[in-house]
Structure 1
């Protein structure tokens, strides 16, 4: 979690934007994201220069390339020092000069970063620099520069804290997924460098970023891991990947879609800061008729909107077949099975209503998951996981497209490592998450494995699920164990009461004697 000092700085930055005249929370986040992106771009450029010098390779700054693109794009005739595009350079300028450089040079330059035909450039096409005053920019740059973002956890927490300030969070069933839950789901999927990973409602690309980091760790040789002079651990090098795998990693492994253009821009910047030069993030309503992809991805990781419903006339016809509904949580389940390739795997967060809803659409969706796919696991999560934004109870469904359901692994998560109140304070341990990952890996290796007495997981057969109308709620199958309480015979209890009563009378008698003296 973020240090109190960093939270205080973000709070001050947020308040500065509001007092500066930007009152839309999403606009504030977007403008701050641009500044964070510009700073991290400079940090990474400096780091790449150091790496190149260390191994004796030639180096060309990304800012020199951006300046050349900028000159070509807007036909700059005046002499301009490209170094001033760098955060570490323009931050020392006079307040008005800084405002001119950032608004007229730096911001137009980063919009060209992905290349003419890239999805990043397309998503940034309508991006607007909206910081109205030079003084606001200067104070924002000063505050952001004082935050050390070398640690990837800090970057992730910072983004989460920023997004937590969205006053509209949860209005359309959109809840930020806690990063430790995302990481758990990624580890359960255990992606490889050959996969194609998709999030059809990607938001800021949390699932894609965590998958990326997991893969880099997975493909880093143990002897390549090192800690630099600043104490930062470098364990995401990916030096075990082949040239072909690296090419696939950078161009064709991660795919994200979101209907909100602001989220698409933030997601694209997030991926670019994690070495994906041309991120495959598109502004698309994946439930609409305009999105026709199918049988494409090997892994889907998602936390789609829960409570929304959309105009039936705009829903893709393939999603209306079988179970007719306008509920987004059900439509996304159908979408996921459509876009997964045969044998593709999925880990998706769903509200509990999907597990036991009694409507025909609910039952048909569950039946299709059990009968037409291999449903492997249901992880029931406590309702506090999404606090303070919502107290909704949720579960994670794990299944493989095609194949056959045999028996299903149910896990009853009691703790995710944080308090389940609105404060969500980190606990001393990581709760059930390490055990969930370990147990799932073991049952994947040995499907005959049976739970121990104290385990939080158990098996449910397909026949039992079918007999219960395809109900997937954990309480339908969890055995309630009552601990037997043994009482002494009534006569023994009465004798003890008499003895206690005699002792009390003796003590009263002794007390009366003391008072008479």
Structure 2
């Protein structure tokens, strides 16, 4: 285990003992704001050093007395720790009554939504210090002060550890599960959509920003980064990543995750995506790449439904319409959808799928195995790929088949999806028919003319399941036999209890 992981583990152990912290959601949130302020301090120090080398003066974002080196872990001009650092009630009073109000005000004192000052204000608007003990906070500040955000290697390792914190927050249950999509799925979706410099990448349900972070890392490998010009790098940082997130905690976690991974100015805003009337969208508002796993199973009020041509209280159908309208001409999208979106043929579902097939090229559907989103959802899901580049003529399907049943402790891995990624990139290797094969095969192709009632669900022809259709008389007999067995077992249990 690395030194950084040891330090983060120590912090989580300390926080678990604090009266103000309850569960993984709380300690991840609290670690986040402290990590962020240390990161901001090191970021500003780097900027100041770079400016000094060119004979310029860097204007710090934070007021002098509210910088990390002044209040959290005071240091002299040589960078040496000063023993006099507040703790206990003095520290808590400073953080709650001076530091947080100052940071929250940034959003209202800055007129530029792309400035780091505005981003800080947007983050802290939805944050509060939950740590109850000033002595607990002092311990944590001292540990985090030893992390070096000026080291690229250390920053990279910390970003990976932060991903694991977000994952543990999702596994903690409750609504936090919607913030985390398995990394293997995100990686496969990003690799197949293949974002490039000049693309604007959008997620209307950002959560912990896994899609945007993975897209950034895909675009900024050492090999790719070395070939970028200064203007291309600026475009990546300021004009590439866009999104919206409804929940306060999701928004904060997502912003922190992006910044810790190196996206300095993400264009992500806290708002309910579905409150936008999609009839108002123009081409200038749209994006060339959409990557998302929107929430499903929710219900929306009539007022929200009126923002969409096809009204429905199902959030998955509303989000699908939103993404269709947000895609630029010749843009490409990869979206996780529940199985019901593909097979349901009620009026709303059929109408949206008709529009999708006739106005977009739904070229690929990936059937994911049950259990991908355990423990917070057991719903069967699919990844749907479509381009805004003509109508659908045929759909290529791929059935992801892990060698074991997925559980919370046995999650999906990238190796279960890498064959799909390879076939996606090499169409000549695909199964171009819908015919059953004798050899093991996970993919097939369906012509749009074969699709009935807009049912586009994955029906793997290579997995023929024999179903015995009983006559009504035999069915009644079978039910009676099962009832007899059930009553017999109940009598045995009662005998044991009454023993």
Please tell me whether Structure 1 or Structure 2 has the larger radius of gyration of its CA atoms. 1
Question: Do 2:361 and 2:390's aligned partners in 1 also have CA atoms closer than 8 Å?
Answer: yes
Q: CA deviation at 1:305?
A: 0.6
1:165 corresponds to 2:209? no
Structure 1 partner of 2:61: 66
Q: CA deviation at 1:391?
A: 1.5
Q: Tell me the matched-pair count.
A: 438
User: Which of 441, 444, 461 matches 1:458?
Assistant: 444
Mapping of residues 321-340 of structure 1, within 5 Å = 321=309, 323-340=310-327
Structure 1 partner of 2:227: 240
Question: Do 2:363 and 2:395's aligned partners in 1 also have CA atoms closer than 8 Å?
Answer: yes
Structure 2 partner of 1:231: none
Q: CA deviation at 1:256?
A: 1.1
Q: CA deviation at 1:20?
A: 1.6
Q: CA deviation at 1:13?
A: 4.4
Q: CA deviation at 1:282?
A: 1.0
Mapping of residues 24-173 of structure 1, within 5 Å = 26=25, 28-42=27-41, 44=43, 57=53, 65-67=60-62, 70=63, 83-84=69-70, 93-96=85-88, 99=92, 102-103=95-96, 107=100, 115-118=110-113, 120=119, 121-141=121-141, 150-151=156-157, 152-169=159-176
Mapping of residues 213-224 of structure 1, within 5 Å = 213-217=217-221, 220-221=222-223
Q: Secondary structure at the match of 1:268?
A: helix
Query: Using the alignment, how far apart are the partners of 1:179 and 1:387 within structure 2?
Result: 14
User: Which of 291, 300, 311 matches 2:290?
Assistant: 300
The verdict on how the C-alpha distance between 1:22 and 1:153 changes in structure 2, with shifts beyond 3 A counting, is: closer
Query: Using the alignment, how far apart are the partners of 2:296 and 2:410 within structure 1?
Result: 21
The verdict on how the C-alpha distance between 1:425 and 1:472 changes in structure 2, with shifts beyond 3 A counting, is: closer
1:211 corresponds to 2:211? no
Query: Using the alignment, how far apart are the partners of 1:404 and 1:267 within structure 2?
Result: 35
Question: Do 1:196 and 1:298's aligned partners in 2 also have CA atoms closer than 8 Å?
Answer: yes
Structure 1 partner of 2:193: 189
Q: CA deviation at 1:245?
A: 1.7
**Structure 2, unaligned runs of 5 or more:** 76-80, 148-153, 467-499
Structure 1 partner of 2:454: 470
CA RMSD in angstroms comes to 3.8
Q: Secondary structure at the match of 1:65?
A: coil
Question: Do 1:85 and 1:106's aligned partners in 2 also have CA atoms closer than 8 Å?
Answer: no
Question: Do 1:387 and 1:424's aligned partners in 2 also have CA atoms closer than 8 Å?
Answer: no
Q: Choose 351-360 or 291-300, whichever is displaced more.
A: 291-300
1:314 corresponds to 2:304? yes
The verdict on how the C-alpha distance between 1:192 and 1:418 changes in structure 2, with shifts beyond 3 A counting, is: farther
Q: Deviations over 1:17-56 (max 9, x none)?
A: xx42344875554333201212333455667789x59xx9
Q: CA deviation at 1:60?
A: 8.8
The verdict on how the C-alpha distance between 1:335 and 1:424 changes in structure 2, with shifts beyond 3 A counting, is: same
Query: Using the alignment, how far apart are the partners of 1:294 and 1:176 within structure 2?
Result: 31
Query: Using the alignment, how far apart are the partners of 1:8 and 1:23 within structure 2?
Result: 16
Query: Using the alignment, how far apart are the partners of 1:418 and 1:240 within structure 2?
Result: 42
User: Which of 324, 329, 336 matches 1:349?
Assistant: 336
Question: Do 1:371 and 1:405's aligned partners in 2 also have CA atoms closer than 8 Å?
Answer: yes
Q: Choose 189-198 or 141-150, whichever is displaced more.
A: 141-150
Q: Secondary structure at the match of 2:220?
A: helix
| TM-score between the two structures when normalised by the length of structure 1 | 0.73
**Structure 1, unaligned runs of 5 or more:** 72-78, 222-236, 484-517
Query: Using the alignment, how far apart are the partners of 2:330 and 2:125 within structure 1?
Result: 37
The verdict on how the C-alpha distance between 1:14 and 1:185 changes in structure 2, with shifts beyond 3 A counting, is: farther
The verdict on how the C-alpha distance between 1:392 and 1:294 changes in structure 2, with shifts beyond 3 A counting, is: farther
Q: Choose 246-255 or 129-138, whichever is displaced more.
A: 129-138
Q: CA deviation at 1:369?
A: 1.8
Q: CA deviation at 1:474?
A: 1.4
Q: CA deviation at 1:390?
A: 1.8
Q: Secondary structure at the match of 1:332?
A: helix
Q: Secondary structure at the match of 1:408?
A: strand
Question: Do 1:351 and 1:395's aligned partners in 2 also have CA atoms closer than 8 Å?
Answer: yes
Query: Using the alignment, how far apart are the partners of 2:67 and 2:356 within structure 1?
Result: 59
User: Which of 396, 407, 416 matches 2:394?
Assistant: 407
1:373 corresponds to 2:355? no
Q: CA deviation at 1:345?
A: 0.8
Q: CA deviation at 1:385?
A: 1.1
